[in-house]
Structure 1
Amino acid sequence: MSHGKLQIGLTGGIGCGKTTVANLFAERGASVIDADLIAHAMTAPHGPAMAAIGAAFGPAFIGADGALDRAAMRALVFADPPARQRLEAILHPMIRAAAEAQAAAATGLYVIFVVPLLIESGAWRERVARILAIDCAESTQVARVMARNGLSEAQVRAIMASQVSRTTRLAAADDIIDNDDGIDALLPQVDALHARYRTISATM
């Protein structure tokens, strides 16, 4: 941790409310760096990852606007695990480098990296001091994602099955926020952890 700020990795399954929680920490003075937002920028029209993706997968996965055809790629990586690994081999080092650059420039009290696949990724686990898992019941995940993304229950459960299990995620976490009961139950948990993270960061 070269620049002396506490670095936390925030993770959680789909529909657990990672973005909501990250925004609450940002409101309290944390610098939030979202790996998914970086990935979207990398695969936007003529984004920095698109030449490598085009070379690896061919023009069928690039839309007319020069951006990643997300639907085509999602279908491919779901059906073909080696394709997922090829895509991750292109994107992950670029995402980490961009996240490092943002962290080095961060001015917040501490840094939170929002990384959905943090537990699965050894490189992320090694570079954060603490792992914060956002947890909720699987039934809550399913209901939220169906409502938000218009997916069927079977589709949501397939995505959940492709992610690390809830048990594994919670076992890896240093801190856990329960997000089953809405914002009123969330705020005191965020405030308590924010106070703890400020204290840790101040002693670094």
Structure 2
Amino acid sequence: MSEVLTHRHGFVVALTGGIAAGKSSVSRCFETLGIHVYDADVAAREVVAPDSAGLAAIVAHFGISVLNAQNQLDRAVMRERIFGNEAERRTLEAITHPRVRRWLHDRVMADRGPYCLLAIPLFAENHEHYRWVDRVLVVDAPESLQLQRLMQRDGIDEALARRMIERQARREHRLSLAHDVIENGGDEAALDQAVAELHARYLSLAQAKH
């Protein structure tokens, strides 16, 4: 799938962070202020929906066994197919990732707000494909708090939670890409204040860009 993404309308902020750092909470704060947030996880489901070109490409490579009874992608089966198989994982990503980026880019091009956010959990792992964003916002949290949230959210033990964190990009790498950082220690008032300050900054930057 060819990929040539043109320059975008408006001002675009990529929102990312480690697992269970609190990206969803930050997204909701910006949405409360009237800012659109376009989510890569939503895009990932949309681009492999039934009858989509993405799903057809997956079936062409992996076979019909990756579909469930409703002709939807069976994510559990797909995970098993690529688990421990680097070549198959890369093949799946080559099918889905460009389509996710195109989906996000199309939303940005249609957005008419003063600025918008792209929530991209794996931004640090794929940042070279997002050179068209204007700014990077990283949500950061102490690893001990990430572990606690992850164990509680997913009902898993600490060993599995640690492995999930370790599979992601290193915290230092994420922070090295950031223009802005929100330290999310769980204080809602502090989070609201941090988002309000960034909102004012992004409005100013967006206005200066035009």
When normalised by structure 2's length, the TM-score is 0.89
Q: 2:46 maps to what in 1?
A: 41
Q: Which amino acid aligns with 1:164?
A: A
Structure 2: stretches of 5+ with no match in the other structure: 1-5
Q: 1:68 maps to what in 2?
A: 73
Q: 1:104 maps to what in 2?
A: 109
Q: Is the Cα–Cα contact under 8 Å of residues 29 and 109 in structure 1 kept in the other structure? A: no
Q: Is the Cα–Cα contact under 8 Å of residues 47 and 67 in structure 1 kept in the other structure? A: no
Q: 1:194 maps to what in 2?
A: 199
SS in 1 for 2:123: coil
SS in 1 for 2:34: coil
Counterparts of 2:53 and 2:151, CA distance in 1: 32
How far residue 43 of structure 1 moved from its aligned partner, in angstroms, is 2.7
Residue 140 of structure 1, aligned match among 145, 152, 159: 145
Written as runs of structure 1 = structure 2, the 5 A alignment for 1:105-124 is 105-124=110-129
Residue 187 of structure 2, aligned match among 182, 188, 196: 182
Counterparts of 1:78 and 1:170, CA distance in 2: 28
Q: Are 1:163 and 2:162 an aligned pair?
A: no
Deviation digits for residues 6-48 of structure 1, max 9, x if unmatched?
1111111111111111121122122211111111122344444
When normalised by structure 1's length, the TM-score is 0.92
Counterparts of 2:203 and 2:178, CA distance in 1: 19
Q: Is the Cα–Cα contact under 8 Å of residues 8 and 105 in structure 2 kept in the other structure? A: no
How far residue 174 of structure 1 moved from its aligned partner, in angstroms, is 0.7
Q: Which moved more, 1:72-81 or 1:55-64?
A: 72-81
Q: Is the Cα–Cα contact under 8 Å of residues 177 and 189 in structure 1 kept in the other structure? A: yes
Residue 134 of structure 2, aligned match among 99, 106, 129: 129
Counterparts of 1:120 and 1:15, CA distance in 2: 17
SS in 1 for 2:131: helix
Q: 2:3 maps to what in 1?
A: none
Q: 1:84 maps to what in 2?
A: 89
Q: Is the Cα–Cα contact under 8 Å of residues 140 and 184 in structure 2 kept in the other structure? A: yes
Q: Which amino acid aligns with 1:63?
A: N
How many residues align? The count is 204
How far residue 182 of structure 1 moved from its aligned partner, in angstroms, is 3.0
Q: Which moved more, 1:5-14 or 1:77-86?
A: 77-86
How far residue 5 of structure 1 moved from its aligned partner, in angstroms, is 1.1
TM-aligned CA distance change 1:158 to 1:61, over 3 Å? farther
Deviation digits for residues 93-133 of structure 1, max 9, x if unmatched?
11111111111111222011111111111444412111100
Runs of 4+ in 1 over 3 A off after TM superposition: 1-4, 44-48, 75-78, 122-125
